[in-house]
Copies of this chain bind each other. A is one copy, B any other.
Amino acid sequence: MKRTGFAEASCPVARALDAIGDVWSLLIVRDAFDGLRRFGDFQKNLGIAKGMLSARLHRLVELGVLEPVPASDGSAYQEYALTKKGRDLFPVVVSLRQWGEANLYARGEVHSDLVDEAGQPVGKLVLPSRAGRPLTWSDTRVRKAGARKR
C-alpha cells in the first residue's frame, strides 16, 4: 500500500509541506519569482539533475503552482509561469529568506537582499491580529479542527 503522506492532514502546515516541502520545489519557486521561466534556465541556475527538474516542474504544474505557457520570445519552446497559487507562496519564500538572513550568516558575510522598487531593503514580515496589532508566537495558539490526524 502506498504511503499517504500528509495530503489529507487537517493541519494546513502539514499539507503545505506535503505539497511543496522539499528543497528543489521551493528553490524553483524562488527562481520563478526572480523571473526565470525556462527549463534550461532553472537547470543552469540550480545545478539540479535534469530528471529531478523535469519531475519537479511537472509536479508543480500538476499542483497548480506553475503553468506551462508558450515562450514569450515567439520561439516554439515552452515556459513555466507562476500562477496565482504560486505567487501566493511569496510570503513563504520571504520568511525563509528573512530567517536565513538573521540566523545563518556570520557577521560581515554578504548575501543577496530583497529590496523594493526604490531599492530600499524591505521590512520584516508582520502577523497582524484582526484588530491590526502585531502578533508573535507567544500571542497565538492553534485551534484544532474536529479531526484526529494532524
Contact = CB atoms under 8 A, between A and B. Distances in A.
Contacts of A54: none
Taken together, the copies of this chain in the complex come to: 2
Contacts of A130: 116, 120-123
A89 B137 CA distance: 9
Given A17-B27, A135-B116, A11 B92 contact: no
- Chain A interface mostly helix, strand, loop or mixed? mixed
Nearest to A137: B90
A112 B16 contact: no
B99 A137 contact: no
6 contacts: A112-B144, A112-B145, A112-B150, A114-B141, A115-B141, A116-B139
